[in-house]
Amino acid sequence: MGLILKYFGDFTDAQLAQFAALEELYKEWNAKINVVSRKDIDSIYLHHVLHSLSIAAIADFAPGTQVIDIGCGGGFPGVPLAIFFPGVKFHLVDSIAKKLKVVDAVCEGAQIKNITTQHTRAEEIKNRKFDYAVSRAVAPLKDLWTWAAPLLKKDHTKTLPNGLICLKGGDLAQEIFESGLRPKMMPISKIFPEEYFEEKYVLHTAK
């Protein structure tokens, strides 16, 4: 929890309580339904919460913004971002129902009100549009863009144009080449100078 406060301030008491609640809730539910690797659960604030919040460091979502988290798993990056941006609406989708059960339980336990969940694949969502799609290490960039693009409203008037924001790691040259896209890349180690974030990046592709 101290790691979050090392890099961010100005949280309300409610936000601080929500962030503080995450560790116990995830440990409790992870024992029943494994959504976080056993070796990672003790480093949840570094490996999952702060990693998710690297998106908040590059994207200042305005109240009323609608964001879809594609393949949210146990709720990352969507859950930490929903705490960070209480006025933003987050829709978390995953094809595995039991993972969403954990997300719903964590939201209830931490009193997070601005998240909805849906058991589906992103490509099956119809008649809904979002300002941004976020995702963490779910699939190659080419696939993520195929799923996200039809769900995104086009708006280049914002400081950060509507689009896909994803968290990736390692050598991404081949993956980006195969996608045919030209995303903007930000090394997370420049945002949070922690050893864990070496060779981890935030990518933004405008709609």
| 123 is an annotated ligand-binding site residue | yes
Instruction: Please tell me whether residue 184 adopts helix, strand or coil conformation.
Output: strand
Across the strands, what pairs with 203? 166, 185
Helix ranges (DSSP H) in the chain: 2-7, 13-30, 44, 51-58, 78-84, 97-110, 141-148, 173-179, 188-191
Whose structure tokens read 């890349």? 185
| 24 is an annotated ligand-binding site residue | no
Distance CA 143, CA 149 (A): 10
| 182 is an annotated ligand-binding site residue | no
**CB crowding 148-181: b at 16 or more within 10 Å, else e:** beebbeeeeebebbbbbbbbbeeebeeebeebeb
| 109 is an annotated ligand-binding site residue | no
Burial class of 184 by CB neighbour count within 10 A (0 to 12, 13 to 18, 19+): middle
| 38 is an annotated ligand-binding site residue | no
Residue 183 neighbours by CB distance under 10 Å: 21
Check if the beta carbon of residue 170 is closer than 8 Å to that of residue 199: yes
Q: Which residues are annotated as a binding site?
A: 71, 76, 122-123, 136
Q: Which residues are annotated as a binding site for S-adenosyl-L-methionine?
A: 71, 76, 122-123, 136
